């Protein structure tokens, strides 16, 4: 029986790639998981281009990513959004946090801090003559608990293990942790399905959601696709772009990466989704 009590009303999921290059096998596995979960819940699937990290953005990569998704039969339900077009919104939220005393300027350098949790050096104000290099959010005390739909119960003491974390970087760019929470709240995202490399970000994002008065989405972190040396496939590691010309084989490969058994013989992309969707629903009791 489907777990009706655990099914969100008005499911809204999203895929949020950074346009630092084309999609590869690893990013497709995350895209596929988020797409299947949205469709299994009869929900909406949004596309967000996370181009907030300007130095890593490659011109035209957003269009390439959209073309790849469509060639693989993955179609979003609302017009795509770009973080680079929402800078005024991020500034407004940042100003509010400053006014409320929930964020503050920090003059510390990475060399001064070293490894480990931020010790709160600048949390009570800067010394005379100091200027902020970055801005941090005040993290409340307490352990953050959440249930990951793939990995099970998780917890992190953000205050003790991370400390007050950066929401605006020393180069003036907004931090990923900050903008993604604002975006999820504004778009009404109920469920985040993404790669396991972002599991460690979840508790920080839930802290921010609480400070902003938002309900944190449910989360599912799917296994990473690794290269032959056991490292995560990534654009930084020069992962090969997807071959969308052979869409069916590409989809079947991603399906196997997610730990599913091979599907029966399939004629086309539409047939793949028709076979994969009910299997996903059964696997996660939807």
Q: Which residues are annotated as a binding site for ATP?
A: 235
Question: Nearest-CA neighbor of 182 among 99, 80, 98, 86?
Answer: 86
Separation CA 41–CA 51 (nearest Å):
28
Concatenated DSSP letters of 110-150: HHHH-SSS---TTTT-PPTT---SEEEEPPPSS-EEEEETT
Instruction: Return binding residues.
Output: 14-18, 50, 106, 108, 118, 122, 176, 194, 235
Question: Nearest-CA neighbor of 125 among 97, 105, 139?
Answer: 105
Instruction: Return binding residues for Zn(2+).
Output: 106, 108, 118, 122
Question: Nearest-CA neighbor of 183 among 157, 160, 205, 152?
Answer: 205
Instruction: Return binding residues for L-glutamate.
Output: 14-18, 50, 176, 194
What is the per-residue burial (b if ≥16 Cβ within 10 Å, else e) of 4-30? eeeeeeebbbbbbbbbbbbbbbbbbbb
Concatenated DSSP letters of 58-94: -TTHHHHHHHHHHHTT---SS--EEGGG-HHHHHHHH
List residues bridging with 15 in a β-sheet.
47
């Amino acid at each position: 029986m489907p777990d009706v009590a655990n099914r969100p009303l008005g499911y809204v999921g999203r895929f949020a790639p950074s346009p630092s290059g084309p999609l590869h096998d690893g990013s497709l596995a995350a895209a596929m998981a988020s797409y299947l979960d949205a469709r299994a819940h009869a929900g909406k699937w949004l596309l967000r281009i996370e181009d907030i990290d300007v130095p890593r953005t490659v011109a035209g990569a957003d269009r390439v990513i959209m073309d790849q998704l469509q060639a693989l039969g993955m179609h979003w339900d609302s017009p795509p959004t770009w973080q680079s077009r929402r800078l005024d919104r991020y500034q407004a939220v940042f100003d509010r946090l400053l006014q409320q005393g929930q964020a503050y300027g920090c003059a510390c350098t990475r060399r001064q801090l070293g490894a480990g949790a931020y010790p709160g050096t600048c949390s009570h104000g800067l010394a005379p003559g100091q200027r902020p290099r970055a801005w941090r959010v005040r993290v409340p005390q307490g352990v953050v608990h959440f249930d990951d739909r793939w990995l099970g119960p998780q917890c992190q003491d953000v205050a003790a293990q991370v400390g007050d974390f950066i929401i605006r970087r020393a180069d003036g760019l907004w931090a990923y942790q900050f903008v993604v929470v604002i975006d999820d709240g504004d778009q009404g995202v109920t469920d985040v399905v993404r790669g396991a490399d972002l599991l460690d970000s979840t508790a920080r994002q839930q802290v921010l959601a609480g400070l902003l008065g938002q309900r944190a989405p449910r989360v599912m972190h799917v296994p990473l696709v690794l290269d032959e040396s056991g490292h995560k496939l990534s654009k930084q590691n020069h992962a090969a772009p997807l071959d969308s010309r052979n869409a069916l084989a590409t989809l079947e490969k991603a399906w196997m990466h997610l730990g599913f058994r091979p599907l029966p013989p399939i004629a086309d992309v539409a047939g793949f989704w028709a076979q994969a969707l009910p299997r996903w629903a059964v696997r996660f009791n939807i």
